[in-house]
Amino acid sequence: MPPGPRVSRLDAVVVGSGPNGLAAAITLAAAGLSVTVIEGAEVAGGGCRTDSSTLPGFRHDVCSAVHPLVAASPFFRRPVFDGLRRSLCQPAVPFAHPLDGGRAGAAHRSVDETADSLGPDGAAYRRLMGPLVDRAPVIVDQVLGPLRSVPAHPFALARFGLPGVPSARRLASRFECEPARALLAGVSAHSTARLTAPLTGAFGLLLGMAAHAVGWPVVQGGSSGIVAALSAELERLGATVVTGQPVRSLSELPESTAVVLDTSPGGLAALAGPDLPPGYGRALARFRHGPGVCKVDWALSGAVPWSAAVCRRAGTLHLGGTFAEVAHSESEVHAGRHPERPYCIVVQPGVADPTRAPDGHQTLWGYCHVPPGSTVDMTTAIEAQIERFAPGFSELVLARSTRTAAEQEAHNPNLVGGDVGGGAASLGQTLFRPTVSWNPYRTPVRGLYLGSASTPPGGGVHGMCGVFAARTVLHDHFGGPAPFGRR
């Protein structure tokens, strides 16, 4: 295996260099530990990579593109990431949801501007979102926590939890008109769950609140800038990152006191093999993944001609039409079918970051949900949805590159079946992932920890899963304080 730093026994090895793996390594190295990160892919970064898969001069985010969670995460608030935070480019409109006939709902940076644009639903929007945005810092710290500690601000959390725990469908009943209802459907469907499922409202509220509180930024030059910042910090701390070394068994790893896995639960089971107690192995096998995604990147000869003007200023677009249409699309996916008119998430980074394409050109990023492991290329269906709300789009396409759900997993083993969230976002699995346990980062094997998006607080680029896994290592082996709440 890899050479690693010149020390006889490492304090810690991290397998996997996604944002959580790198955040775990930084937390450990910042505590003075000797750390090596071992990554299977040729390039570090997991879900934070940028490439030119269409044409030279066009920079596409391979996975994550929009980063409210970087802007909000306590991990990225460290002064060493000031430069990264300055490189976050804020679209004037965080997200918009076009409807037929040139109408759209849009989330602006200000709650008032958003409410004013929603006509008869403005007052209901202001009542729902205003108090959350006022309390955003405490709500974010709680939601991006291990979801275990007693809330320091229970009333702020109740403001979020009471409307959020029911489904998005229930939450949408507060609104009379389609722009507000569709806006909520589009943002809630990031959960990948049916819009009738509990907690889908919480996804919508959290991401909607983030649009007002911290924006939905893209990273100047692409999401790989996040990994560049993390890697620079690791280097400064003296840790090593080795790439191109897929790990197949724990026995391949250099000697260390602790190992943190930035892998799926299945990856943990495969690496630890017979070392895992059978009961824990069975619990890991019960872990459920969410639907997959089929993703397309486009090189365009110009900006997308959205019929609704507000969409031309939006970083992210949720396509799919009315609340009922989006809900139907998501339930089709959960029934194992490919929707004819899929709900799509589309990002146009060029509205905020002109560096992604040659002058006068644009990149576009988009995906739709599909059944797990799907090999179906959804490019035609996704492009039909864009064309529906932006007639003339197809004439701008210079080149495209598509990755099916099955290809997502081939590219990164953590994307099981193409699941981008590290696991299904059910109520149970949001609180208890990968198994039901007070400290889900600690495995029954001494010295072995899990710190990927398959642990709380779950998917997205925030690094907090890795941070809590690392704090558990520091507590268990190096005299650190309790990682959170009580043990």
Q: Count Cβ neighbours within 10 Å for each residue of 340-351 and write b for 16 or more, e otherwise.
A: ebbbbbbbbbbb
Helices 136-143 and 200-213: crossing angle in degrees, nearest 10, is: 130
Q: Does 65 bind ligand FAD (CB under 6 A)?
A: yes
Applying CB under 6 A, among 10, 13, 26, 63 the residue interacting with ligand FAD is 63
Least distance in Å: CB of 64 to ligand FAD? 3
> Which lies closer to ligand FAD via its Cβ, residue 134 or residue 377?
377
d(CA 369, CA 344): 7
On whether the CB atoms of residues 15 and 263 are closer than 8 A, the answer is yes
On whether the CB atoms of residues 310 and 96 are closer than 8 A, the answer is yes
Please state, as a whole number, how many other Cβ atoms lie within 10 Å of the Cβ of residue 2. 18
Q: How far is CA 281 from the centre of its chain?
A: 26
d(CA 125, CA 118): 8
Least distance in Å: CB of 38 to ligand FAD? 6
Least distance in Å: CB of 345 to ligand FAD? 8
> Which lies closer to ligand FAD via its Cβ, residue 138 or residue 260?
260
Q: Does 413 bind ligand FAD (CB under 6 A)?
A: yes
CA distance readout (Å), 354 to 63, 220, 260: 19, 8, 38
Applying CB under 6 A, among 420, 464, 467, 473 the residue interacting with ligand FAD is 420
Q: Which value, in Å, is the radius of gyration of the alpha carbons in the chain?
A: 22
Applying CB under 6 A, among 422, 434, 440, 457 the residue interacting with ligand FAD is 422
Applying CB under 6 A, among 15, 205, 213, 284 the residue interacting with ligand FAD is 15
Residues in CB range of 4: below 8 A, 6 or more apart = 10, 36, 240, 242, 254
CA distance readout (Å), 200 to 20, 97, 170: 24, 17, 10
Applying CB under 6 A, among 47, 161, 372, 423 the residue interacting with ligand FAD is 47
* Binding piece for ligand FAD, criterion CB under 6 A, among 28-36, 73-81, 377-385, 415-423: 415-423
Site for ligand FAD in 452-481 (CB under 6 A): 452-453, 459-461, 465
> Which lies closer to ligand FAD via its Cβ, residue 69 or residue 115?
69
Q: Does 203 bind ligand FAD (CB under 6 A)?
A: no
Binding site for ligand FAD (CB under 6 A): 15-21, 38-41, 46-47, 63-67, 69, 246-247, 262-263, 267, 293, 295, 367, 408, 412-415, 420, 422, 452-453, 459-461, 465
